[in-house]
């Protein structure tokens, strides 16, 4: 039987393996060490690796993210945990202006191999100030890489390649996914002895012929649920393409899927205005217009601050029924 572990466990495995792989890797953030992490992602790692490799930071994202960026310029490979990605805005200057431009401004002499990871999602009823999905904001800045894994297999392989990358990688997870299980091979089952997924490679999660549902992060799970309904109730064979990383972006995979199915919907929990889906839609229209049999559609979170009320917030986010309804309008 294939091994099944949770998203949280797979992420922890990837971090543990990178701590063993490179002595320069360390993990810094609020409660990541002695308290096992706010979401128990780093549980047990402090006891195993000690104070120099897992460091509890004060409640000052501007302070510890800035410290991590400086350390990365000196050869350390810090993995910085944000309790919520909403708190990245406190360290916006460091993350956007310093980390992103470091290699360019130094003429390629100084790298900034930092990973900033944490949950970037709504749907957990924690209010508007704790529910941001800023992947589009960070992807807008040249010099940054943005990753958003949708399952346990990918979160392990992508965190390992992100830590080894010499550019800043902003790694966006979902608290809703932490407890979800998936198949993740153990290292002794792999030819190379470890699971590494290169950045910038999308993955077809379900083959299809009638419409492409393109997504990232938790929206991939929602799209797979919608694809199942489309097949069972309407005999529509939807393809689901998971971007996995938003920047670098696998344009070839997007175009290949659209040219096969001739219809596309981008699904995301990001807001619609200047969102990731807006960029993807524009690319499809520019590069594959003659292959389309219908307009490209986007399904996003409602364009408003995250609602606190659980039943209302549920309506704010994309759901399988909405995807099915919109898919039927172009199929």
Catalytic residue among 130, 132, 153, 216: 130
With 0-12 CB in 10 A as exposed, 13-18 as middle and 19+ as buried, what is 131? buried
Alpha helices in the chain (DSSP H): 7-21, 45-49, 61-73, 92, 102-105, 135-139, 152-164, 218-234, 251-261, 276-287, 310-316, 320-330
183 in active site: no
Catalytic residue among 13, 17, 30, 61: 61
130 in active site: yes
| 245-247 vs 264-267, strand pairing mode | unpaired
With 0-12 CB in 10 A as exposed, 13-18 as middle and 19+ as buried, what is 293? exposed
With 0-12 CB in 10 A as exposed, 13-18 as middle and 19+ as buried, what is 230? buried
**Bridge partners of residue 29, in order along the sequence:** 56, 81
Residue 178 · residue 149 · CB < 8 Å:
no
Active site residues: 61, 130
């Amino acid at each position: 039987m294939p091994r099944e572990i949770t998203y949280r466990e797979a992420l922890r495995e990837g971090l543990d393996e990178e701590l063993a792989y490179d002595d320069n890797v360390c993990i810094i953030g609020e409660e990541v060490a002695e308290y096992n992490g706010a979401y128990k992602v780093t549980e047990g790692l402090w006891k195993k690796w000690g104070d120099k490799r897992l460091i509890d930071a004060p409640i000052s994202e501007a302070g510890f993210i800035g410290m991590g960026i400086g350390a990365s310029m000196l050869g350390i490979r810090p993995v910085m945990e944000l309790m919520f990605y909403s708190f990245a805005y406190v360290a916006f200057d460091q993350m956007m202006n310093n980390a992103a431009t470091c290699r360019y401004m130094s003429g390629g002499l100084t790298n900034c191999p930092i990973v900033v990871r944490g949950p970037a999602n709504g749907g957990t009823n924690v209010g508007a100030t704790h529910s941001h999905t800023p992947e589009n904001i960070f992807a807008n800045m040249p010099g940054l890489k943005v990753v958003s894994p949708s399952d346990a297999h990918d979160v392990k392989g992508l965190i390992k390649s992100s830590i080894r990358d010499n550019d800043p990688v902003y790694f966006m997870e979902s608290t809703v996914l932490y407890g979800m299980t998936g198949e993740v091979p153990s290292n002794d089952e792999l030819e190379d002895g470890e699971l590494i997924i290169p950045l910038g490679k999308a993955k077809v999660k379900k083959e299809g012929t009638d419409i492409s549902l393109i997504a990232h992060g938790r929206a991939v799970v929602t799209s797979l649920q919608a694809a199942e309904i489309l097949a069972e109730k309407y005999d529509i064979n939807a393809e689901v393409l998971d971007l996995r990383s938003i920047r670098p972006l696998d344009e070839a995979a997007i175009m290949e899927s659209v040219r096969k199915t001739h219809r596309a919907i981008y699904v995301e929990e990001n807001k619609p205005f200047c969102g990731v889906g807006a960029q993807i839609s524009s690319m499809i229209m520019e590069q594959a217009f003659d292959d389309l049999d219908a307009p490209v559609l986007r399904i996003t979170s409602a364009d408003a601050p995250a609602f606190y009320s659980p039943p209302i917030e549920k309506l704010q986010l994309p759901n399988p029924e909405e995807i099915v309804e919109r898919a039927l309008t172009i199929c």
